[in-house]
Every structure is written in structure tokens, then in C-alpha cells.
Amino acid sequence: MLERFHQILADRHRRAQEWKQAGGKVLGYFCNYTPEELIYAAGLLPVRILSDPEPPSLSEGVFQAFYCPFSRSCLDQGLRGNYDYLDGLITAYACDHLKGVFNIWRRHKPDLFSEFVDMPSRVDTPEAQTFLTHELSKVQESLERLAGRTISPAALARAIEVYQTNRSLTQQLYQLRRAPVPPLSGAEMLTVVVAGMLIPKDEHNRLLSELLAQLEGPAHPAPPAAGRARLMVLGSEIDNPRVLQLIEESGAVVVTDDLCTGTRYCWRAPAPAAEEPLAALAHLY
């Protein structure tokens, strides 16, 4: 079962190209603040831009020396043509480095659709809710032009439901890892979560449901964990499961994380059901 998630990561470019060949459009994104529900509701495929083990070369000539390895890798892939199947880029403000990637990428690809989501600096005020609702309405209009279709309130409400189901299923997996002997290693959990950033969420939901049924069954052999140090990994962007695998090969077991490619991606409070869908989405983010 886990091999299916590994294969999604390995074949991510091919799968996106197949979506494109079938008549769909693909939108690349960088940050958890990107409103994926709007992209999904527009019938587009949101694909997270991931790093690559290959050392960057092309980005060295356009980046300052202080840019982080992750941002260099992302831009390098864009300049090399790894993501030439993208119909556009969308991101919210995450850090200066990724904002630089976004700006340089679209400068080198001027015909590419691009959209930047302005996030309020504080998110716990009524003014922030009003601001973000208005900002998301502008993003919605841009996505509608790209998709050639209107995003109805019903379609957006359905997208919010699909994504909330995804978060709930992923949280259930994390809860299983609280056990004395976790049924998933940290590297396996990261693979499962990142795979969901590359395929339609309804497809990922089906895979998560199958995985949960398998892990909760009596026949699943848990990886050995007795006597091993139980670790929580904190950071920002770790999208290569090999990083956590190296930690676990040293004798520890990663039982949880605080990563934007881990718990921070799926641990959000549900959107208020009574609100208009766009306002509910603003509340969610």
C-alpha cells in the first residue's frame, strides 16, 4: 500500500503531464497559505513545487548567495524545464526567498499565469477576515479566467468539504503514530502527506482511507520501535522522506513533526459551515 504513495512522488511530473494531456490545467504552488480549495473548485490540479536532489546550477547566476538551498532547487527546476507543463504559478507570502523564486520564475516565463495571494500580517482580527475574503475573491476571478469556468458557491463548498476530509484522514494517521510502536515511520508519514500535494484530493482521500483500514487491521506488521528514542522534528520545508529516513536509520523514530509539509499542512480547524463559502475559506486560512 505504501508503495503507491512512494510511486506518486517518483512519478509526479509524469502524472501532471498526463493530466495536462487529458485536457486539464496544472497550477504550481509553494506555500501552505495557497488556497488550494479555490484551485480544486476551478477544476485545476494544484501541484506543490518540491525540491530535487540534483545540485542546482542555473539558479546560481540569478540568486544572491544568501538564498536557501530549497529556494535554489525550486528555481533551478523551473529554469531547467522540469515544470514546463505548468499553466501557472500561485503562491502566498511565505518568506523572502520563495517570493524571489516566484518573481524570477515568472520573469523567465512571461507567458505563464501567475497569482500572488496577499495575506494579512495578523489573522486573529475581524479586519483580517474581511481583508482576506476580499483578496480571495480577486484570486477566484483570476482562476476563473484561467480555467474558463465560473466557481460556483456549491463547487467551492464541495472543495472545502473534500479538503477537510483530507485533513481529517491525515490527522487520524498522525494519531496512530502516538502508539508505543507506531505503525508508520516518520519517513513513511512524510511520503503519505507530500503525495497528497501532487494529486487530486479526492484520489488522495481514497488512498488514505485504504491505508487507515490496513493499519488498523490486525495483520499489519509495525516497524520495530521498542527502545528507540521518540523524536519530534521541527522546521519548515522537508519534502524528501530520505531526510527523516536518515534520522531513523540512526536508531530513533520520528513520531510527529511541526513541518509545513507535515502537521502544519493538515492541522487546521474546520471552516464554519454556516458562513458563505468564500468567507468560510478566509476563516480557514
Classify burial at 153, counting beta carbons within 10 Å of its beta carbon; exposed 0-12, middle 13-18, buried 19 or more. exposed
Task: Identify the pLDDT of residue 66.
Answer: 84
Task: Identify the pLDDT of residue 275.
Answer: 79
- Rounded CA-CA distance 188/8 in Å is 13
Q: Which three cell numbers stand for residue 43?
A: 477544476
- Rounded CA-CA distance 238/51 in Å is 9
Domains belonging to the chain, first-starting first, are 2-151 (3.40.50.11890), 158-266 (1.20.1270)
**pTM given for the model:** 0.93
Task: Identify the pLDDT of residue 222.
Answer: 58
Q: What is the pLDDT of residues 69-111, one digit of tens each?
A: 999 999 999 999 999 999 999 999 888 899 999 999 999 999 9
Q: What is the pLDDT of residues 257-267, one digit of tens each?
A: 999 999 999 98
Task: Identify the pLDDT of residue 75.
Answer: 93
Q: Which three cell numbers stand for residue 147?
A: 480555467
What is the DSSP annotation of 166-229? HHHHHHHHHHHTTSSS-SS-HHHHHHHHHHTTTS-HHHHHHHHHHHHHHHHSTTPPPPP-TTPE
Read off φ and ψ for residue 57, nearest 5 degrees: -135, -50
Read off φ and ψ for residue 276, nearest 5 degrees: -60, 140
- Rounded CA-CA distance 128/121 in Å is 8
- Rounded CA-CA distance 102/88 in Å is 11
Which SS3 state, helix, strand or coil, does residue 106 take? Answer: helix
Angle between helices 153-176 and 186-195 (to 10 degrees): 170
Query: From first to last of its 285 residues, what are the pLDDT tens digits of the chain?
Result: 899 999 999 999 999 999 999 999 999 999 899 999 999 999 999 999 999 988 888 887 788 888 899 999 999 999 999 999 999 999 998 888 999 999 999 999 999 999 999 998 887 888 999 999 999 999 999 999 999 999 999 999 999 999 999 999 999 999 999 988 899 999 999 999 999 999 999 999 999 999 999 998 765 555 566 678 999 999 888 999 999 999 999 999 999 999 999 999 998 878 777 679 999 999 888
Q: Is the dihedral of CA 148, 151, 155, 160 positive or negative?
A: positive
Task: Identify the pLDDT of residue 226.
Answer: 64
Task: Identify the pLDDT of residue 185.
Answer: 94
Classify burial at 221, counting beta carbons within 10 Å of its beta carbon; exposed 0-12, middle 13-18, buried 19 or more. exposed
Within the chain, strands assigned E span 26-29, 45-48, 88-92, 113-117, 229-234, 252-258
